[in-house]
A and B are shown apart, each in its own frame.
Chain A
């Protein structure tokens, strides 16, 4: 399983060590904050301490008089800077309500952390110190924290919208089928789950630095973003600066998990300030600001119902979501629940489907994409519900799942929700996971401990998942009202010296694109992966792209690289055939050289072909010089990775402490380009899902104050909290792309939360505990056990 030290030639499928790591480990990598920009001013943002308030007055004169301060502005001062408010690119319905979201609030603040003023100083310290000198008189208004309370409209967050109801979106292809399945059901399961809000904590917080160029009114925007290409378009729209005058550069970016898939107030602010002050302006987010003013994830109440027949075969699933938008709609806030909307039947062949989601405004930080975005929620609904069904039927959870799997011969499978699943083979992944987890032996130990009345109870949890990645076929996005396409661009260029430059529109922020793209090109061309360089994240060098999110990079961006490489090979073949006076059909590319089939002594290295293409001294008639190709790939379908995860926990029923003792993940992401990177993605993803199950929660009090704004209170787990994982995989290639790849960036997060929670409930079931909110903190577990005990005592009496 451990891949370190395995010799890797860099071909597809080998665990080549990451090219990214030496610069990261030696500190050579430069993040936005590291950039030395002479003459740059520092911005600091004053944020509302209230969740909901009117601004009676705002006095910045004290800040202006503070040492080292160059300028300070209120929302009213900057009102004219904005050609448009901050964008929401996914208005999911025609009648969606969208509140005006300006980079600085003008009269009203809608969440604790809403920006109200900005101070610009010669140093960061001067700007931060001067924030204390800004005087704001707020008229506090009641907060809206609870989702159900928000729906009542007793307090309306945005009065101009008249209601907190943002939208209602449904997917019910055949309502009658759903109704009759429930009418005829032998077993009905009805469950309610709460997706607590999560705070994405990238190692690098956000940061931006805008540099006005000396000529032509151009601006270079350095930002710790996942989406330089989208950001360029959006900042042009917000500030009214023509898009072509903006260049966005994402240098090394220290993670994002979706939180940097956005267009933020501070990015627009720094651009507007640089335009106004005619000097570079930079801003670096503090960790507490990251908790308050970067988007949060999840935040939903889910109701799920299953209708099953006597044998436990599920005939219909009905889902109702209440989704917390927060105070404003960020880039894709309303669309997040829709990314899971099609997957609430999970890996099961369920013929009738009903999904409805209502988005509501609250006086909290906006929600948006957080690793998995919509699919972890879907998986956390269907998988615990399947356990509830197994419980009702008195069946083993593995057996209920097996009975309901989409049969292998049904792929490509048309789901009741309207998707076509590309490929799948669910049984073998489950079998392998159970074997790696020593399922039977663990069940026996569990029973032994129960019989002995042991305090420490064992629980085993299964999670069979499927997700959709490869965002996305542009036409599908259109049907969902999304305002952009889902294609990706790549250029592969052979240089005169035989080295290769790859330009990708898919912008990495920790994944390992450089390594994988090098492997794809090296594998196809037969060159050394070290001879391949990958350029990304700079809109001047890579003008076309849709960036990185939704586990799309390999299955869209990587496929574009593959296709561009194939185009290069086709042209190279023509040149080689011309030079070698052979026919193209007689040439094969072997180990980096074109050879005449059957006569390996007659060959021409790809590097030599590149040089010929460069000099253009002897090319076929009519052929353009140069050896490069550009491809823009629009995927024909999503890809559907899947797998089974098994968690084994030990629950201390006396203290409520949950100890995760074993974790098995069997994932199928189709063909693997670099198995070490796949493992890394699974490891990190699994920990993030465990975090939702056991540790992390953005807690707000009744007044809308965020109580978990530091990393002392917001519990991000580390390697010390998790066991060493046992990984396995199966390989079911996707038929929709030539590489047969699927995607693995979010799989771990999608699968692991239900595995862990199912395990905790499995441990507690004999004590009478049937429901538990996340995270399963010791106090929560203890209280649930105490409640169940009291209920049992009450029954006995």
Chain B
């Protein structure tokens, strides 16, 4: 469990991080909370030659009320998302789910930006931001650009971030309607075997955890609901368009079954 050797640099601002990324190119990795990157490095599945620590950029840790949306700095820790009164009031699903990530140690280190930038289909927060229809703000050498969450996740652990870009902010619309998060796992600390986020905010957004190489919208379910289908009928379509993998916890068939059951439960709980 000893990582390969690497150089360590610390960035004091997003601008500095981006210029360091430019300098070192694909050899470099940003380090936020380290709770996804460091395990990969210790297993030598990731061997960056430069690690750029952005974890201490204070000004990227914030939660701001932006009228009809909430803006969250990329380096905000899960624990701060979980306990934010602003989110608990305006986007309760996000605060709730941040409290389901790993265990207290993980939540005190891991960041919302790291979780999204890592793009793990098994992670909880990407699905929630997808279901909410959030926006990701990234900064590159040429300045900032906005990427809708629906376009951010592109392949297994691949996102729309360019190698020289850094995620700086996440924006989510306020969503005070019904919601539900169904996390099916075996131990409290584990990633979801399958997870479902459902949010009613005018229309109903439904996103799936661990049902394919990327975090997914359950489009067939959403369309059925929009067309007036019952929760049970819509949920029956939950596995459509998914491409889950098989692992020690679940076969493909079992995951698809779970998706249908959990979507139904989520829709019932959200009152869709």
Interface residues of B in 243-269 (CB under 8 A from A): 248-251, 254, 257-258, 261-262
Is B162 in the interface zone, CB < 8 Å from A? no
Is B193 in the interface zone, CB < 8 Å from A? yes
Is A790 in the interface zone, CB < 8 Å from B? no
Give the CA-CA distance A720 to B102 in the complex, in Å: 12
Given A779-B249, A779-B250: A125 and B2 within 8 A (CB)? yes
B188 touches A720 (CB 8 A): yes
- Select from chain A the residue with minimum beta-carbon distance to B2: A128
- Select from chain B the residue with minimum beta-carbon distance to A778: B186
Given A654-B261, A655-B184: A777 and B249 within 8 A (CB)? yes
- Select from chain B the residue with minimum beta-carbon distance to A658: B186
Partner of A713, one of B189, B248, B257: B248
Give the CA-CA distance A57 to B183 in the complex, in Å: 50
Contacts of A773 on B, CB cut-off 8 Å?
Answer: none
A129 touches B4 (CB 8 A): yes
Is A190 in the interface zone, CB < 8 Å from B? no
Give the CA-CA distance A721 to B190 in the complex, in Å: 11
Interface residues of A in 530-568 (CB under 8 A from B): none
Partner of B186, one of A124, A288, A695, A707: A695
- Select from chain B the residue with minimum beta-carbon distance to A125: B2
Give the CA-CA distance A778 to B185 in the complex, in Å: 9
Partner of B187, one of A125, A129, A286, A717: A717
Contacts of A782 on B, CB cut-off 8 Å?
Answer: 254, 257
Per-position binary interface string of chain A over residues 439-467, scored 1 when its CB falls under 8 Å from any chain B CB and 0 otherwise: 00000000000000000000000000000
Per-position binary interface string of chain B over residues 83-116, scored 1 when its CB falls under 8 Å from any chain A CB and 0 otherwise: 0000000000000000000010000000000000
B261 touches A286 (CB 8 A): no
Contacts of B188 on A, CB cut-off 8 Å?
Answer: 718, 720-721
Is A391 in the interface zone, CB < 8 Å from B? no
Give the CA-CA distance A655 to B103 in the complex, in Å: 24
Partner of A715, one of B5, B187, B254: B187
Give the CA-CA distance A657 to B184 in the complex, in Å: 9
Give the CA-CA distance A778 to B184 in the complex, in Å: 10
Is A287 in the interface zone, CB < 8 Å from B? yes
Interface residues of A in 631-680 (CB under 8 A from B): 654-655, 657
Report B106 CB to chain A, min CB distance, Å. 12
Mostly helix, strand, loop or mixed at chain A's interface?
A: loop
Number of interface residues of A (CB under 8 A): 27
Give the CA-CA distance A313 to B221 in the complex, in Å: 57
Partner of A718, one of B189, B193, B249, B261: B189
Per-position binary interface string of chain B over residues 172-195, scored 1 when its CB falls under 8 Å from any chain A CB and 0 otherwise: 000000000000101111100100
Is A580 in the interface zone, CB < 8 Å from B? no
A777 touches B189 (CB 8 A): no
Is A708 in the interface zone, CB < 8 Å from B? yes
Contacts of B249 on A, CB cut-off 8 Å?
Answer: 777-779
B193 touches A778 (CB 8 A): yes
Report B157 CB to chain A, min CB distance, Å. 16
Is A699 in the interface zone, CB < 8 Å from B? yes
- Select from chain B the residue with minimum beta-carbon distance to A697: B248
Contacts of B193 on A, CB cut-off 8 Å?
Answer: 778
Contacts of B257 on A, CB cut-off 8 Å?
Answer: 782
A707 touches B189 (CB 8 A): no
Give the residue among B2, B103, B184, B262 with the most A Cβ atoms within 10 A: B2
Given A655-B184, A699-B248, A779-B251: A124 and B189 within 8 A (CB)? no
Interface residues of A in 718-759 (CB under 8 A from B): 718, 720-721
Give the CA-CA distance A124 to B261 in the complex, in Å: 49
- Select from chain A the residue with minimum beta-carbon distance to B260: A654
Given A125-B2, A128-B2: A779 and B187 within 8 A (CB)? no
Report A655 CB to chain B, min CB distance, Å. 6
- Select from chain A the residue with minimum beta-carbon distance to B182: A655
B1 touches A720 (CB 8 A): no
Contacts of A721 on B, CB cut-off 8 Å?
Answer: 187-188
- Select from chain A the residue with minimum beta-carbon distance to B247: A713
Give the CA-CA distance A286 to B251 in the complex, in Å: 30
Interface residues of B in 10-46 (CB under 8 A from A): 43
Given A286-B1, A288-B1, A779-B249: A720 and B258 within 8 A (CB)? no
Report B58 CB to chain A, min CB distance, Å. 30
- Select from chain B the residue with minimum beta-carbon distance to A782: B254
Give the residue among A699, A710, A777 with the most B Cβ atoms within 10 A: A777
Give the CA-CA distance A124 to B249 in the complex, in Å: 35
Give the CA-CA distance A663 to B250 in the complex, in Å: 28
A720 touches B2 (CB 8 A): no
Contacts of B103 on A, CB cut-off 8 Å?
Answer: 720
Contacts of B189 on A, CB cut-off 8 Å?
Answer: 718, 720
Report A177 CB to chain B, min CB distance, Å. 45
B5 touches A777 (CB 8 A): no
Report B75 CB to chain A, min CB distance, Å. 25
A779 touches B254 (CB 8 A): yes
Per-position binary interface string of chain A over residues 124-138, scored 1 when its CB falls under 8 Å from any chain B CB and 0 otherwise: 110011000000000
Give the CA-CA distance A286 to B43 in the complex, in Å: 11
Interface residues of A in 114-132 (CB under 8 A from B): 124-125, 128-129
B248 touches A707 (CB 8 A): yes
Give the CA-CA distance A287 to B248 in the complex, in Å: 19
Contacts of A708 on B, CB cut-off 8 Å?
Answer: 248
Give the CA-CA distance A124 to B1 in the complex, in Å: 11
Per-position binary interface string of chain B over residues 186-213, scored 1 when its CB falls under 8 Å from any chain A CB and 0 otherwise: 1111100100000000000000000000
Contacts of A777 on B, CB cut-off 8 Å?
Answer: 186, 249
Per-position binary interface string of chain A over residues 284-312, scored 1 when its CB falls under 8 Å from any chain B CB and 0 otherwise: 00111000000000000000000000000
Report B139 CB to chain A, min CB distance, Å. 32
Give the CA-CA distance A286 to B3 in the complex, in Å: 13
Report A145 CB to chain B, min CB distance, Å. 16
B261 touches A287 (CB 8 A): no
Contacts of B258 on A, CB cut-off 8 Å?
Answer: 655
Contacts of B190 on A, CB cut-off 8 Å?
Answer: 712, 715
Contacts of B2 on A, CB cut-off 8 Å?
Answer: 124-125, 128-129
Give the CA-CA distance A512 to B249 in the complex, in Å: 37
Contacts of B184 on A, CB cut-off 8 Å?
Answer: 655, 657, 778
Report B242 CB to chain A, min CB distance, Å. 17
Give the CA-CA distance A286 to B42 in the complex, in Å: 11
Contacts of B261 on A, CB cut-off 8 Å?
Answer: 654-655
Give the CA-CA distance A195 to B177 in the complex, in Å: 49
B250 touches A718 (CB 8 A): no
Report B73 CB to chain A, min CB distance, Å. 29
Give the CA-CA distance A713 to B248 in the complex, in Å: 8
Give the CA-CA distance A695 to B43 in the complex, in Å: 24
Contacts of B250 on A, CB cut-off 8 Å?
Answer: 778-779
Contacts of A710 on B, CB cut-off 8 Å?
Answer: 43
Give the CA-CA distance A634 to B81 in the complex, in Å: 61
Report A772 CB to chain B, min CB distance, Å. 16
Give the residue among B103, B248, B257, B261 with the most A Cβ atoms within 10 A: B248
Report A658 CB to chain B, min CB distance, Å. 9
Report B167 CB to chain A, min CB distance, Å. 25
Give the CA-CA distance A717 to B187 in the complex, in Å: 7
- Select from chain B the residue with minimum beta-carbon distance to A286: B1
Report B193 CB to chain A, min CB distance, Å. 7
- Select from chain A the residue with minimum beta-carbon distance to B257: A782
Give the CA-CA distance A779 to B184 in the complex, in Å: 12
Report A318 CB to chain B, min CB distance, Å. 35
Give the CA-CA distance A287 to B2 in the complex, in Å: 11
Give the CA-CA distance A125 to B190 in the complex, in Å: 30
Give the CA-CA distance A286 to B1 in the complex, in Å: 6
Contacts of B254 on A, CB cut-off 8 Å?
Answer: 779, 782-783
Report A132 CB to chain B, min CB distance, Å. 9
Contacts of A717 on B, CB cut-off 8 Å?
Answer: 187
Beyond known contacts A129-B4, A654-B261, A720-B103: 15 more, CB 8 A cutoff:
A655-B184, A657-B184, A695-B186, A699-B248, A707-B248, A710-B43, A715-B190, A718-B188, A718-B189, A721-B187, A721-B188, A778-B184, A778-B186, A782-B257, A783-B254
Complex A-B, nearest 5 residue pairs according to Cβ-Cβ distance, in ascending order: A720-B188, A779-B254, A128-B2, A286-B1, A654-B261
What are 5 sample pairs from A and B whose C-beta atoms fall under 8 A apart? A128-B2, A286-B1, A777-B249, A778-B186, A778-B250
